Amino acid sequence: MPNEPQDGDRVFRSLTVHPSDPNTVLLGTERNGFMLSEDGGVTWARLRAGLRSSDQVYSEIWDIDYSASNPDVIMAATLDSPGPAYG
């Protein structure tokens, strides 16, 4: 299917849905950053701003969630990080 996550993005460790917009879905991938869909999964965009990489390999994102007090903030638990995530 067009506009779906590419092979390297298909392995994901975590998923969360925006608390006030069920069409906004965020995936935490295995070594490829975040994937964001704002149309219920029809199309996806890769998010890597603020993530550090080592040889173009990003942290495994094992758990993600929106902040209960501010849904503009996303919290993530990572594994094998080449450095802190911010942004």
In a domain, 1, yes or no: no
In a domain, 84, yes or no: no
Q: What amino acid is encoded at 56 in this protein?
A: Q
Number of neighbours of residue 5 by Cβ within 10 angstroms: 20
56, pLDDT greater than 70: no
Domain range holding 48? 7-79
CA 41 to chain centre: 13
In a domain, 22, yes or no: yes
In a domain, 2, yes or no: no
81, pLDDT greater than 80: no
Q: How far apart are CA 86 and CA 63, in angstroms?
A: 15
Q: What is the domain count for the chain?
A: 1
In a domain, 87, yes or no: no
- pLDDT tens digits for 2-41? 455 555 556 778 899 999 999 999 998 877 778 899 999 9
In a domain, 11, yes or no: yes
Residue 86 phi, psi dihedral angles, 5° rounding:
-155, 165
Predicted TM-score of the model (pTM) = 0.70
